[in-house]
Amino acid sequence: MASKPSIVLFRRDLRLADNPALRAGAERGAVIPLFILDDCERQKLGGAALWWLHFSLSELAGALADRGALLVLRRGDSGAVIRSLVAETGADAVFWNRRYTSAGMAADKALKTALTEAGVAARSFNASLLRDPWEVQTKSGGPYRVFKPFWNSLRAAGPAEAKPIAPPAKLTSCDAAIPSDELSDWRLVPTKPDWAAELRGKWRPGEKGADAALQKFLQSAADDYAEMRDRPDFEGTSLLSPHLAFGEISPTAIWRAAHAAAAPGEQIEKFLSELGWREFSWHLLYHYPDLKTEPLRRDFADFPWADDDAAFTAWTRGETGYPIVDAGMRQLWRTGWMHNRVRMIVASFLVKDLLIHWRRGEEWFWDTLVDADAASNAANWQWVAGCGADAAPYFRIFNPVSQGEKFDPCGDYVRRFVPELAALPNEYIHRPWTAPKELLAKSNVQLGKNYPEPIVDHACARKLALEAFAAIKKS
C-alpha cells in the first residue's frame, strides 16, 4: 500500500461501480475523491444538465461517505485545482477517466505532462465507451462514416473491459481534513423561477437511479422494444440516456445486463444498437472535432438557411400549430427529455419546414436536455439535417401529421402535453385545422387564439426545402 494518498478525479463518471480510476486509487491506499466545477465547463452546461449534476453529485457524495471517503468539491481551473490539491495533501498519484473532446484531451495531456514532471503519477482510463474511438477503424485504418460497418466492427470486438468492476466495499480516506466547497453554494438548482418541478417528479439522478431504470426496462419493456421504441404514447424506451450522459452507469454494464437478461434476438440487438449509435457519435466527434459547428458534408456550408427568430421562438415554445411537434417541445421544456422519435420529428421540422440552421436546434437541445451529450447531440442534428455521417437523405422530410398519426395513433401523447386539444377526436388530433368549425367549437379549440394555426404549410415548406437542397447540389 502506498503511504501517500491518490487523487481520484470524477467528471462525467459519477459512479462507484465499473470505475477504473477509482479502482486504481483504492488499490494504492488512501484516496481523495475530487470533483471540480470548472468555470469554463460550467458555462458550457445547459440549465437542465446543471440541475441533474447537483443531485448526481449529492448521491455520489453519500455513496463515498458510506464507504469512508469524503468527496472534495472545488471550483476553478481544473489543472490549477489539481496542482493545488497535490501540494496541500502530498498526493503522489492522480487518476481519472478519459474525455474525448479535443479541448478535454488537450487539457488532460497537458495536466499529465505537468504532473509527471513534478514526480506525480498520472494515469487515465476508458470508462465511458465500449471501446476507445481509436480502437475501431476501417480496414484502411481510418474512421468510419457509416454506422452499419462501424457497428459490425464494434459488435465483433465487444467491450474492452469484459469483467465488471465491483464498487469498493470500503475506502481509506486521507488523514488530513481537506477544505471543500458546499454543493448548495454552487447554485446549480433553479430557484427564481423554479422550473424543475416536473424534472424532480420524473427523474432519479445517481447510480442507484440508473440501476433501477435499467432493471425496470429489462423486466418490463425489453421484450417488445423493437416495436414500441417509436411510440411516444408508451414508455417503451429505457430512459437511461441521462444516466449514461453523467456516467452513473457504464455502457459496458448495460451491455452485460442486456445479454444476461435476454437470449440473442431482434429485441436485444435493437437495444444494443442504440448503444452503438452513441459510440458512433463519439467516434465521429473524436475524429471530427468541429462536429458541433461545421457540417461533415462541406457542401452544406453554403446552404441558404433562414434567419427567422419568430419561427424559432414558436418552435421552442411548442406553438407551431403542428400538435406532435408542439407536444415534443413542451415535453422537453417540462421534463428535460423528449422521446427519440419525436426528437427526429421536431428536428426535421426546424431544419426542413422552417429552414432554420441545425446549430440553433442543437444549442436549444443542449440547454434543455437532461441527457445532453456533446457527441450525440451534434451527430444527431447533423444526421437529421442531411449534412452528417450516414445522414438521412435531405429529401427525407418528416411529415408532422402522418408521423403523429402513425406513432401516436390515439393522440394520447399530444393530449398529455397539448391539453388544449384534448377534446378533439382522434381523427383530427394531429390536424386540428381540418376539423369542422362546429367540432372545433364543441371541443373548445379556437385556432389562432388558444391554439395556433400552422406557422407554415408543410407541403409548401417541403417544396422550398427541396429547392434549397437542389441549389447547393448544383453549385
Residue 214 has a pLDDT of 95
Q: Are residues 61 and 112 in the same domain?
A: yes
CATH of the domain at 66: 3.40.50.620
Are 336 and 459 members of one domain?
yes
Residue 201 included in any domain = no
Give the residues across from 93 on adjacent strands.
Answer: 6, 121
Q: Is 51 an active-site residue?
A: no
381 given a catalytic annotation: yes
- Could you tell me if 353 and 378 lie in one domain? yes
- What's the pLDDT tens digit per position in 315-371? 999 999 999 999 999 999 999 999 999 999 999 999 999 999 999 999 999 999 999
Rounded mean pLDDT, 13-23 = 98
Whether 2 shows a pLDDT value over 60: the answer reads: no
* Residue linked to cell 429529401: 395
For residue range 26-37, list pLDDT tens digits in order: 999 999 999 999
**Do both 363 and 448 map to the same domain?**
yes
Is the same domain home to 452 and 350?
Answer: yes
195 part of a folded domain: no
Residues 282-301 have pLDDT tens digits of: 999 999 999 999 999 988 99
- Host domain of residue 48: 6-127
Read off the CATH number of the domain in which 231 is found. 1.25.40.80
Interval 150-168 mean pLDDT: 93
**Catalytic-role residue among 41, 135, 269, 274:** 274
214 and 309 share one domain: no
Question: Could you tell me if 168 and 22 are in contact, meaning their C-beta atoms sit under 8 angstroms apart?
Answer: yes
Last residue of a domain, one of 108, 127, 146: 127
User: What b/e string do you get for 419-431 counting C-beta neighbours within 10 Å, with b at 16 or more?
Assistant: ebbeebeeebbbb
**Residue 282 known to be catalytic:** no
Whether 66 is in a domain gets the answer yes
The residue out of 230, 265, 287 marking a domain boundary is 287
In the Cβ-directed half-sphere of 210, how many Cα atoms lie within 13 Å? 28
Number of domains in the chain: 3
Q: Are 129 and 20 in contact (CB under 8 A)?
A: no
Specify whether 14 is located in the same domain as 111.
Answer: yes
Q: 173 lies in a domain?
A: no
Same-domain status, 110 and 236: no
Same domain as 373, residue 318 = yes
Catalytic, 52? Answer: no
Q: Which of 96, 364, 381, 383 is flagged as catalytic?
A: 381
Same domain, 99 and 243: no
Query: In this prediction, what percent of the chain has a pLDDT beyond 90?
Result: 83
**pLDDT score of 443 more than 60:** yes
Query: Which of 186, 294, 340, 433 is labelled catalytic?
Result: 340
Q: Which whole-number Å values give the CA distances from 349 to 32, 137, 162, 318, 322, in the listed order? A: 48, 34, 42, 12, 10
Which is the catalytic residue, given 186, 195, 305, 433?
Answer: 305
In a domain, 192, yes or no: no
- Catalytic residue check, 134: no
Q: Give the pLDDT of residue 43.
A: 63
Query: Would 211 be classed as within a structural domain?
Result: yes
444: CATH: 1.10.579.10
Q: Are residues 443 and 381 in the same domain?
A: yes
Residue 42: per-residue pLDDT: 62
Are 49 and 106 within one domain? yes
34 strand-pairing partners: 9, 72
Query: Is 366 one of the annotated active-site residues of the chain?
Result: no
Residue 219 pLDDT: 85
Residue 148, domain member (yes or no): yes
Distance in angstroms between the alpha carbons of the first and the last residue of the chain: 66
Q: Does any domain span residue 249?
A: yes
